[in-house]
Amino acid sequence: LNIHDVNKDDEAMYFCGRSEVNIIKFTSGIFLSVRDKPHLNITVLQSSVLDPVPAGASVTLQCSVLSESRTAELQVLWFRAAPSQSYPQIIYTHHNSSLQCESSTHTCVYNLSKNIFSLDDTGTYYCAVVLCGKIIFGNGTRVQLGEN
């Protein structure tokens, strides 16, 4: 018996049987136990605060994603949370790109460039990684408006 692409539904007691005339004889059987996939260890790093920026300035926010394994399935989202909003809004998404990743260290770096025109553009910008149905957030980078 060969089972391809084993998953949790394949966990069961398996018996081998043979037919002799009108009788089927079975072996004692073997139990196949299927373990869950190993926990993926992902870390999302962001600088916490930028210096206040003058209106009209451009900022580049950086998000580093460190993983113990290959990061080919990553989707990276950027959110902005502001005191005037009751919920954060998604402002940009990245799908994994080999140009942004260093394979030897399993690190990917994502940048978001944003023009800060007014208080409406300030707040805390969060980088988040979607992987295997889970969302892992960074600590956020606070963007403040400064003097011109």
Tally of domains within the chain: 1
Residue 73 lies in a domain: yes
Residue 93 lies in a domain: yes
d(CA 72, CA 61): 22
Residue range(s) defining the domain that contains residue 46: 42-143
For 28, counting Cβ atoms within 10 Å of its Cβ (0-12 exposed, 13-18 middle, 19+ buried), the class is exposed
The CATH number that applies at residue 98 is 2.60.40.10
Taking only the tens place, the pLDDT of each residue in 98-112 is 557 777 777 888 899
Tell me the range of 1-15, 59-73, 110-124 where mean pLDDT is highest.
110-124
